[in-house]
Every structure is written in structure tokens, then in C-alpha cells.
Chains A and B, each alone.
Chain A
Amino acid sequence: MSEPVPITINVNGRKRSAMVEPRLLLVHFLRESLNLTGTHVGCDTSQCGACTVLLDGSSAKSCTVFAVQADGSEVQTIEGLADGDELHPLQDGFWEEHGLQCGYCTPGMIMSAVNLLEENPAPSEAEIREGISGNLCRCTGYQHIVNAIQHAAERMAQS
């Protein structure tokens, strides 16, 4: 009925192969099979965006993708963003602008912002707010997150 099937997903530049049940969600594959616990489970109902990763370069809620659907794809998680010890400009922006309080939404928020800045390197404040509208934060009131993304956009434009 639902025998484990083989999958290979390139996660953060490294090919990861496993036998998985078809009903295994991508977020659980990342967290439980690969121990990449930076991707969080929030609402588990496709709304809060805490589980956001890049799937073949586009942001996706990994609680709403089966791992088998990602077979042969590339996935980037928050763990794959920094270059060694050097933080990605968005990670740096969240640090500098205090873009978090409890931090639970932060990995998903940053991955959504990566998708946003790739499509629109110089977004307006309204475009940033729309771009992260699939990610809920219950602490900050969003203003510092917007500041963090603006900070990153400016830094990325300079480099």
C-alpha cells in the first residue's frame, strides 16, 4: 500500500538519499531524517510559513510538500544560507536590525525574503510586506523584520 520508496534530494548542495514513506512531508524529512531542525513546524496547516524552504529556487511551505514530490529537486534550508562563518546578508540584516524576538518564525521568514530579493532586489516597503505575507510573526509586529530585509537589500545592492 505505501511501501517506502527511494528518493534523492540535493539539500544545501549535498545529495541525500533515503527510503521514505510517500506520506512523509518534506519538513519531516528535513528535520527528522536529516536532522536539519532549523526549518520549523509552526501551524502545520500551510498558513504560518515557519517551514518555508527554497524548492528548486522558489519558496515553498515544506509542510505542504511530500518528500517524494521533491525527489530529484534541490532544496535549500536556513542551514545552507551562510558561507562558512560569513552570514548571508539577510541573516546579517536580522541580526543588525533585531528582526526577531522569540526566533521561531525567523528561518521561514528569511527563506521567504531570499525568494523576494531574488525576484525583486529593491522592493518597496509595501512589496516587502506583501512578500512576507505568507509568514506569520507573533512577536515583532513585523517592523523590525521589514527593516532587516531593507538592510539586506541595501547591502546586497552594494556588493
Chain B
Amino acid sequence: MIPTAFEYRRAGSVAEALSLLQEGGPEAKLLAGGHSLIPMMKQRLAEPGLLIDIGGLDELRGIQEDGGEIAIGAAVTHAEIAASDLLRDQAPIVAETAANIGDAQVRNRGTIGGSLAHADPGADLPAVMVALDATIALLGPNGERKVQAEDFFQDILTVDLAEDEIVTGVCFQACRSAAYAKLEQRASKFALVGVAAALSLDGGTCSSARVAVTGASSHAQRLSGVEGALAGASLPDGAGDAASGAGDALDFVNEDLHGSEEYRRAMTAVFARRAIEAAAGRG
């Protein structure tokens, strides 16, 4: 499968990428790992006239911690996230989730910025970022803009990112008591249903929680009913009760040959319980 012809420019800096984006207008697309974009281009579902390669930019790389806040550059690969001692120690949910994306080759090329910007409904990291209350950093011609993950994901493949903006990274508070559980499509490892839970624990009692789902619906979103039910709940015993209504509360649920709407609603409750139990086990 051969994509339509395009012009290729390798940006030497984020600033150059921004000006190329402006120059290219709606014809321009950013390319880093390319593991969402290139398959779409080969199927001619995407036909950009200009590809701006930002994959090699040092400015978009690196995983840092400063005063409990962890920042990951947009061009960091899933493999690098999975192998990061810093993340394994201070936000194990992120490293574990990245380690279970796709396969080794996909993880070696695919980037966190690409995954978040593409916002596939079955992508894992969006739910984790919503549960961690992450901030997504964007850079555009008017400077930097920061968007909370729960506001960033808006609909299927649709995010709060203007045509002339670049996702530069993501940051969130270190959090050990968080876990992600997914029912995966066996061939692709995309989430049919994936739930991320981040808990604040006081002994065996949950004082507050953020829980987010991916795969089940058009985009990653909070499960606010579950969050409410978790406040004051005794864990892990109360996880099942708190998660029981998770699937029924969703407005829109995907349906395809891998799972009916009814099945995905049922599995949302099951995997919410599993994520909460795993997160509580870390407290």
C-alpha cells in the first residue's frame, strides 16, 4: 500500500516545526513515531501534503521529576516509558500501561505525544492521563497552552489541539496507588475496555479517587459515579460495589465485532473493579 505523495521536512527545532505547521496550513501533519499516522496514510484515510518530522527533537524527549511532578516529553517512546526506573518507582501505572501497548516494535517507535494527539478510542494512555489528572502541554504561534487531560479528549479521534499547535509533553503528580486494567483485543492489544484508577488512601479507606475509562466509548473520560462511590469506601472489599454501575453510566458505548454495547458496559464494571483493587493493593 502506497500513500499519496507528500513533501517531507525534518524540523531542527520545535520553533521550526511550528513555523512549518503554519506554512503548511491544513495540508500539514506532524510525524514522530508515525505508528498511527503511517498506517492511516497507507490506507489513504489520511493524505497530508506535508509531513513535518519532529521525532528526533531533543526538546521533546526526556522523563523528569521535579518536586513530585513528573514530566514526559511528547516524543518519548512507549518502550522508553516502560523501561523508565523513575516511572516504575513513582508512577508505576504509566510504565506498566506503556509496557502493554501493542508489541515490541510498536513500542519502539510509537510515542506518548502521538498516542494522546491521535486519541484512538482504544488507546490506553489517554485513560491513564485522565485518571492522573495530567496536564497536556501544547505550543502554538501564541505561546504555550496547558489543557487538563479530561478536557483534552473530546470525541473519537478529536482533541483540543489546534491545527497550528504541537503537543510538547505531559505532566502529572507522582502517584503510586494507581493501576490500569484492560480487556484487550488479542491481536492488536487495543483496549476493548480499559480502566485506570488513581486513589488517595488513608489506611484501607479511600478518601478520594479519579477513575477513567477508554475503549468503551468514543474517547477517554472520567467515571464520576465510580469516583463518588469510592469516597469513604473501604478497600479492596468495597471495590466491586463502587464499580458496579460504571458501564451503565456511560452515555455512548462502542459496538463492533469484538464486543457488543451490552458486553462493553458489563466489562467496564468488571475492569473498573480490577483497576481499583490493583490500585488499592499498592496503597
Contacts and interface: CB of A to CB of B under 8 A. Distances in A.
A115 B104 contact: yes
B160 interface: no
B142 interface: no
A130 B108 CA distance: 14
A65 B109 CA distance: 9
Contact of B39 (A45, A55, A71, A134): A45
Contacts of A44: 1, 42
B106 A69 contact: no
Nearest to A112: B104
Contact of B8 (A22, A47, A59, A131): A22
A110 B103 CA distance: 15
A21 B187 CA distance: 32
Nearest to A69: B53
B5 A2 contact: yes
A69 B35 CA distance: 13
B8 A1 contact: no
B106 A46 contact: yes
A44 B2 CA distance: 10
Interface in B101-134: 102-106, 108-109
B31 A69 contact: yes
B38 interface: yes
Contact of A60 (B1, B2, B10, B105): B105
A64 B34 contact: yes
A106 to B, nearest CB: 16
B252 interface: no
Contacts of B34: 64-66, 69
A133 B109 contact: no
B10 to A, nearest CB: 8
B224 interface: no
Nearest to B83: A119
B105 A112 contact: yes
Contact of B103 (A21, A66, A133): A133
B108 A60 contact: yes
Contacts of B103: 49, 133-135
Nearest to B8: A22
B24 interface: no
Contacts of B245: none
B208 to A, nearest CB: 35
Contacts of A131: 104
B51 interface: yes
Contacts of B105: 49, 52, 59-61, 112, 134
Interface string B42-80: 100000010101010000000000000000000000010
* Most A C-beta atoms less than 10 A away, residue of B8, B79, B187: B8
A68 interface: yes
B26 to A, nearest CB: 16
A23 interface: yes
Given A65-B34, A134-B104, A134-B106, A46 B5 contact: no
A149 to B, nearest CB: 13
Contact of A23 (B2, B10, B102): B2
A109 B88 CA distance: 29
B84 interface: no
Contacts of B188: 47
Interface in B2-56: 2-8, 10, 31, 34-35, 38-39, 42, 49, 51, 53, 55
Given A61-B105, A66-B8, 6 more contacts: A1-B7, A61-B109, A116-B104, A131-B104, A134-B104, A134-B105
Interface of A: 1-3, 5, 21-23, 44-47, 49, 52, 55, 58-61, 64-66, 68-69, 71, 112, 115-116, 131, 133-135
Interface of B: 1-8, 10, 31, 34-35, 38-39, 42, 49, 51, 53, 55, 79, 102-106, 108-109, 187-188
27 contacts: A1-B5, A2-B5, A2-B6, A2-B7, A21-B5, A22-B6, A22-B51, A23-B3, A23-B4, A44-B42, A47-B188, A49-B105, A55-B109, A59-B105, A61-B105, A61-B106, A61-B109, A64-B38, A66-B8, A66-B38, A66-B51, A69-B31, A112-B105, A131-B104, A133-B103, A134-B102, A134-B103
